[in-house]
Amino acid sequence: MSIAAMRSDFAAQSKGVPQLEQCRAYRFGAIEPLFFQCHVGTPASNEQKESRWALYAFGREATSPLLSPNDGGHTLKSMARVVLAMSGGVDSSVAAHLLREQGHDVIGVFMRHGHQSPVACATTSTEGPGDALPIISSSETARLDHKQGCCTAADAEDARRVADKLDIPFYALNLDEEFSRIIDYFVDEYTAGRTPNPCVQCNNWIKFGKLFDYADSVEAEFVATGHYARLEPDAGGETALLRGQDAGKDQSYVLFGIKRHYLQRMLLPVGDYEKSEIRRLATKLGMNVADKKDSQEICFVTQGRYDEFVRNHRTENDTAGELVTTDGTVVGQHRGIEGFTVGQRKRLGVALGEPKYVVSIQRDTRRVVLGDRDELARPTLTAAGTNWLVDSAEIPERCEVQIRYNAPPVAATITLLTQQRLEAVFDEPQFGVAPGQAVVCYSGERTLGGGWIE
């Protein structure tokens, strides 16, 4: 029986359902019966933060909803349509399984940035929202000698295999233009003597930016990823972003810049698990990615070092200059300030007989200043471009801050400044406070927000 015929048959058997409209059909793989998700009554406005969806089993006369309306918090709804970012890694692959187990209608999406990968994820599917997607041709060719990133042809093929195994639709999105913005940011920051974090901006601009635009185009209610973080309603019914259950894999830091109103439409299925549990589950499910290494490199830097990539992409004059000590003594030359970050100890290009660190990078003079570790200590920092996931009145003066992805959280006093800036005064001086990196504020496990270190 066709979907159209099923809808007609269902409508005929559901005369008791008031104002039945916008029916959509869903099938749980080979499991029967077929269910319909139907919108009943008057659609609520976005401001009301409600979604009056009810589920009715095909062939049943009962008209009572099988789930409760969303009260404004993070209510996980059965049978929701979910767009899942699939990178070909174990985390997003198991996330797909978990979402399917919860009964969701999952659409797998691989984000292709067009800078290096031949595509291994073209699809011949004619069902679902494929017409709304830019599908990439498998005839395209490019380099295959990638580092362990997250957007290679092999990654796309891994993601496609998982999608096939789970029987979910899978599409490739051509996000070349959006990724070009991230590359420009990456190059500009390094050229300015700052240390960028393109993974955070990818989350802000693409994974939880452009993917929501795509989700809206296919009438998906949620966007999901394989990040290790959690989402839970707080006492006031707002959705809170929390640290992941696995402290060693927690990724809430890289999610601080997401627009607050998106939190209620996000799903993070693996956030309640330890990484070891996710790998065990992948093995149990027979997934080929169960033992796949985690991505370690920036996906668009296909080979070589970051500084080489920057030099090959910038249009400005070179940034070569002097290596100097904190007292101004010239001790060497360097090829460009893009090869350094504050706190760096290795590959300085000069041997001084004792460990030295990059204390600061001076863009105007193109000098890289080297010093002892204690000269890295900073009692305070300021940050710009803040983004908060709570109301300003809820930001405590005392909180914990994290100045790098792998840095431990430390106690600090926070002051909100004008023009979307903040000041953090550490209880104890911190080492390696690098301009361009994010500082993220926490209250216990909750991510409050943060900004970009000046």
User: What local confidence, expressed as pLDDT, does residue 142 receive?
Assistant: 29
Over residues 227-235, the mean pLDDT reads 95
| DSSP H helices in 130-274 | 153-166, 176-191, 198-202, 211-217
Over residues 399-419, the mean pLDDT reads 96
User: What local confidence, expressed as pLDDT, does residue 22 receive?
Assistant: 31
User: What local confidence, expressed as pLDDT, does residue 78 receive?
Assistant: 54
User: What local confidence, expressed as pLDDT, does residue 308 receive?
Assistant: 87
Is residue 138 predicted with pLDDT exceeding 60?
Answer: no
Residues 6 or more apart in contact with residue 236 via CB below 8 angstroms: none
Q: Which tokens in the block code for residue 174?
A: 């051509």
Mean residue pLDDT of the chain comes to 79
Which is it for strands 81-85 and 105-112: parallel, antiparallel or unpaired?
A: parallel
Over residues 216-242, the mean pLDDT reads 95
Question: What is the CB neighbour count within 10 angstroms for residue 18?
Answer: 8
Over residues 283-296, the mean pLDDT reads 90
What dotted CATH number matches 378-453? 2.40.30.10
Task: Flag the least confident range among 73-77, 131-135, 347-351.
Answer: 131-135
Over residues 24-52, the mean pLDDT reads 32
User: What local confidence, expressed as pLDDT, does residue 381 receive?
Assistant: 98
**H or E stretch covering 99:** helix 90-101
pLDDT digits (tens, 9 = 90+) for 375-408: 999 999 999 999 999 999 999 999 999 999 999 9
Instruction: Give the range with max mean pLDDT: 112-126, 174-188, 210-224.
Output: 210-224
User: What local confidence, expressed as pLDDT, does residue 311 receive?
Assistant: 87
Instruction: Give the range with max mean pLDDT: 12-16, 176-180, 216-220, 301-305.
Output: 216-220
Q: At what angle do helices 176-191 and 306-313 cross, to 10 degrees?
A: 100
Q: Which fold has domain 81-284?
A: Rossmann fold (3.40.50)
Contact 401, 441 (CB under 8 A): yes
Tokens 């003594």, located at residue: 329
**Measured between alpha carbons, how far is residue 239 from residues 125, 190, 207 in Å?**
36, 35, 18
φ, ψ of residue 360 to 5 degrees: the values are -160, 160
Question: Of 393, 401, 454, 453, which is closest to residue 426 (Cα–Cα)?
Answer: 401
Contact 401, 409 (CB under 8 A): yes
**Cross-strand bridge partners of residue 81:** 105
Please tell me whether the peptide bond between 33 and the residue prior to it is cis, using omega within 30 degrees of 0: yes
Give the C-alpha separation, 88 to 113, whole Å: 15
Over residues 283-287, the mean pLDDT reads 96
User: What local confidence, expressed as pLDDT, does residue 313 receive?
Assistant: 86
User: What local confidence, expressed as pLDDT, does residue 115 receive?
Assistant: 54
Higher-scoring residue by pLDDT: 406, 121: 406
pLDDT digits (tens, 9 = 90+) for 190-227: 999 999 999 899 999 988 888 999 999 999 999 999 99
Q: Which tokens in the block code for residue 351?
A: 């041997």
Give the C-alpha separation, 354 to 368, whole Å: 17
Give me the percent of the chain exceeding a pLDDT of 90.
62
Q: Where are the domains of the chain?
A: 3-57, 81-284, 318-375, 378-453
If DSSP codes are grouped into helix, strand and coil, which group holds residue 363? coil
CATH of 318-375, one of 3.30.420.10, 2.30.30.280, 2.40.240.20, 1.10.10.1100: 2.30.30.280
Over residues 4-24, the mean pLDDT reads 42
Give the C-alpha separation, 84 to 94, whole Å: 11
Is residue 43 predicted with pLDDT exceeding 70?
Answer: no
Give the C-alpha separation, 352 to 329, whole Å: 12
Instruction: Just list the catalytic residues.
Output: 202, 299
Burial of 418 (0-12, 13-18, 19+ CB in 10 A): exposed
User: What local confidence, expressed as pLDDT, does residue 135 receive?
Assistant: 28
